[in-house]
């Protein structure tokens, strides 16, 4: 198993300066709460942990548009709780799709593949 903190995908070192993405966390979380309410999604601690992981990843990553890379990192991070199965129970429409919609993050490359019916 890869150690996420040592991979290039998510070094968790210095935040990268992604222009146009700078927003304070309080404002971001208020917006997330409003979007979740509109979606009818209850924001419990487990969901917030996954959302915070994606926000953290997004803040530190080099290639933030790589859906497969992010899903792999999330699968490893939450492996002790069930990995992808756990994440799909939290976000039935797809963890990455729903989290990106909640946090108003840009769509990922290959986030959905209508030909195969997948939705990260």
Q: What is the pLDDT of residue 17?
A: 46
Q: What is the pLDDT of residue 67?
A: 81
Residue from 18, 87, 93 nearest 49 by CA: 87
Q: What is the pLDDT of residue 114?
A: 61
Each residue of 63-98: pLDDT tens digit?
677 788 888 999 999 999 999 999 999 999 889 889
User: What is the pTM (predicted TM-score) of this model?
Assistant: 0.73
Each residue of 2-61: pLDDT tens digit?
444 444 445 444 444 444 445 577 888 899 999 999 999 999 999 999 999 998 888 877
Cβ-count burial of 100 within 10 angstroms (0-12 exposed, 13-18 middle, 19+ buried)? buried
Q: What is the pLDDT of residue 111?
A: 58
Length of the chain: 120
Q: Which residues contact 32 (CB under 8 A, 6 or more apart)?
A: 43, 51, 102, 103
């Amino acid at each position: 198993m890869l150690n996420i903190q040592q991979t290039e995908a998510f070094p968790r070192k210095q935040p990268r300066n992604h222009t146009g993405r700078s927003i304070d966390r309080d404002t971001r979380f208020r917006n997330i709460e409003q979007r979740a309410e509109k979606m009818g999604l209850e924001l419990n601690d487990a969901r917030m942990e996954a959302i915070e992981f994606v926000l953290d990843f997004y803040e530190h990553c080099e290639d933030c548009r790589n859906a497969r890379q992010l899903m792999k990192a999330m699968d490893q991070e939450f492996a002790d709780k069930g990995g992808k199965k756990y994440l799909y129970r939290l976000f039935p429409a797809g963890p990455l799709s729903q989290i990106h919609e909640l946090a108003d993050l840009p769509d990922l490359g290959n986030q959905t593949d209508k030909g195969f019916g997948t939705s990260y």
